[in-house]
Structure 1
Amino acid sequence: MYKERRKFIKTSAVASAAVLLMPSCVTKTGKEAATAAIAGEQPQIGLGLYTVRNQMAQDPKGTLEKIAEIGYKKIEPFGFDGEKVFGMTAKEFKQIADDLGLQVVSGHIDPSVFQNKFEASLDFFAEVGQQYAVWPYQPADQRSLDDYKMIAETLSSCAEQAKKVGVNVCYHNHDFEYELVDGEVPLYLLRDQTDKAVQFELDLYWVTKAGKKPVEEFKKFDGRVPLWHVKDMANTEQRGFAEVGEGIIDYKEVFANKELSGMKHFFVEQDQSADPMKSIEISFKNLTEKILA
């Protein structure tokens, strides 16, 4: 998956070169208006852009326009290589996001950036307004206890540097971090061996796929989970991906216990979908009309 993320971001750089940085006007759609009735204000729903990676590679500006039209207010890009994201500088990417009313809250960062270019990347994070830098994935051949201890040390060091620009450092899980390695659960090792400034982005689908209950996991991280990835699990034998509200994860219960995690932002994400743009619209509608209503 990590190699796939790198491939998509490199491809998107070509398409992004032609992006026009002209102001865009997004009218308030029915979907957006409907959210205003929820708790007296519009919920700030985010989207992990990995969900629409093909669309971002082909037409990043047009894709972001559609995302804003659906009603999303926050975005989480992926694939920052130490210089650009989707082939764009911080100024270029922020210009488009600002024009569309999209807040760049978080970003999945190439692990090599954490290891070799992190301090040099702080200006990018500050300019784009990014509050979180997330370690996204650990390759299958780099999952020994020593590898995870290295990640813990790297994240702790980066968290100290990130304080200079008000950025928080996080680790994003999949299910394999719950698999025992030499008698230890890697995700809990990361929790215990990182500085308290290091936080976590819990992917609630992968938590569930690992046989855990999201609310119970929140209790184990002492408020260090400011970010969620919200995706659903299909009610099939394969337990594949589903649009939020169309699967078996009880997201009403999850959101009712958000204080346990310290959640500040959440991002819809769906790793695989036959029609990603349709999927993110379904997830947005279910969140606003059912889950958060």
Structure 2
Amino acid sequence: MSYPVAYQLYSSRNFPPLEAQLPELKAMGYDAIEPWLPAYEADPAAFRRALDDAGLGCLGFHMPLRGLVEDTQRFIDIALTLGASVMIPPYVTPEEREPTPDYWRSVGERLARGAEAAARHGLTVAWHNHDFEYRPLSDGSRPIDHIFGADDAVKFEIDCGWIVRGGADPAEELRRYADRIVAIQLKDTAPLGTPEEDGWTATGDGIIDWTALVPLMQATQATHIVAEHDNPADWRRFASRSIDHMRALGLAAMKDAA
């Protein structure tokens, strides 16, 4: 089973101009871009035109949790302009985080309010994890489980690399949240403590056993997969090696069929 493949544009933030990369990504076989704020913020319509010109779509985009709650309609309008179906808050800052179940339940409740508003426009809201959601609280519970305990309308873009960094098992999380997962980031990590490229690698070059995860991915509700690297030295190498490995796994269409 193959999926549409998106490229998280955050991976290329250090290699402007970003729009010049779009035709290259299309030529590699990518189907879509997953942009992050502020890449699309100045002029969402112009960003959409650049995607259209390159033959790329936008399946989902990253946005602030605060924006989902306090500026809901603006971000819904951005989603509709970009043609995205999934709105993805990915982060709360360390200053905002509180080490209590109540705080993390409140994150889930805010996501649920945004999801209710988004659903009226045919849109989905999905949380994107980092490592901190997998660090146990003092009572032994995990933030991620409180986030998703509030409302099953809140979906999940699962980032496998950050799960490993958080000390958890991607296989178990793919099983646990199979019915919530709408997108899968195949982010790979080098052995923990590796300094080069902040310890991230192209998909298939790190320590994650992707072959073992493929059946679990295919048992989720995911509609697409995503390549991301937080600090590549060479974005082209990362992008090409990642999609090639996704093809080798059978998760992405072969290039000549793309």
Question: TM-score when scaled to structure 2?
Answer: 0.88
Report the Cα offset of residue 165 of structure 1: 1.4
- Are residues 1:116 and 2:73 paired? no
Counterpart of 2:143 in structure 1 is: 186
- Structure 2 residue 202 is matched with structure 1 residue 246: no
Larger Rg belongs to: 1
- Measure the CA separation in 2 of the matches of 1:135 and 1:45: 20
Q: CA deviation at 1:226?
A: 0.9
Whole-Å Cα distance in 2 between the matches of residues 213 and 185 of structure 1? 13
* Structure 2: segments with no counterpart, 5+ residues: none
Q: In the TM superposition, what whole-angstrom CA distance separates every residue of 1:188-233 from its partner, at most 9, and x where no partner exists?
A: 011112x111001110001122222212112222510111111112
Change (3 A) 1:119 1:71: same
Q: Deviation per CA, 1:248-278, whole angstroms, max 9, x where unpaired?
A: 1111221222233322111000011111222
Aligned pairs, number: 246
Cα offset for 1:142? 1.7
- Aligned residue for 1:74? 32
Change over 3 Å in CA distance of 1:94–1:182 after alignment to 2 = same
How far apart are 1:163 and its partner, in Å? 0.8
Distance (Å, rounded) in 2 between the aligned partners of 1:222 and 1:270: 23
Q: AA paired with 1:188?
A: D
Aligned position for 2:23: 65
* SS of residue matched to 2:126: strand
Higher helix share: 1
The question of whether the paired residues in 2 share the 8 Å contact of 1:204 and 1:231 is answered with yes
* 1:177 partnered with 2:136: no
Is the 1:245–1:291 contact (alpha carbons within 8 Å) kept by the matching residues of 2?
no
Q: Distance in 2 between matches of 1:205 and 1:96?
A: 30
Partner in structure 2 of residue 133 of structure 1: 87
Give the RMSD, CA atoms, in angstroms: 2.1
Name stretches of at least 5 consecutive residues in structure 1 with no aligned partner: 1-38
Match status 1:151 vs 2:111: no
From 114, 119, 128, the equivalent of 1:163 is: 119
What is the one-letter code of the residue matched to 2:61?
G
Q: Secondary structure at the match of 2:181?
A: coil
Match of 1:50 in 2: 10
Amino acid at match of 1:261: T
**Counterpart Cα distance in 2 of 1:86 and 1:280:** 24
Q: Percent identity?
A: 26
Partner secondary structure for residue 255 of structure 1:
helix
Greater relative CO (CA pairs within 8 A, separation 6+): 2
Instruction: Report if the CA contact (8 A) 2:69-2:113 is conserved.
Output: no
Which of 209, 218, 224 lines up with 1:259 in the alignment? 218
Displacement of 1:120:
3.1
- C-alpha distance 141-216 of structure 1, shift in aligned 2 (>3 A): same
- Inter-partner Cα distance in structure 1 for 2:203 and 2:178: 26
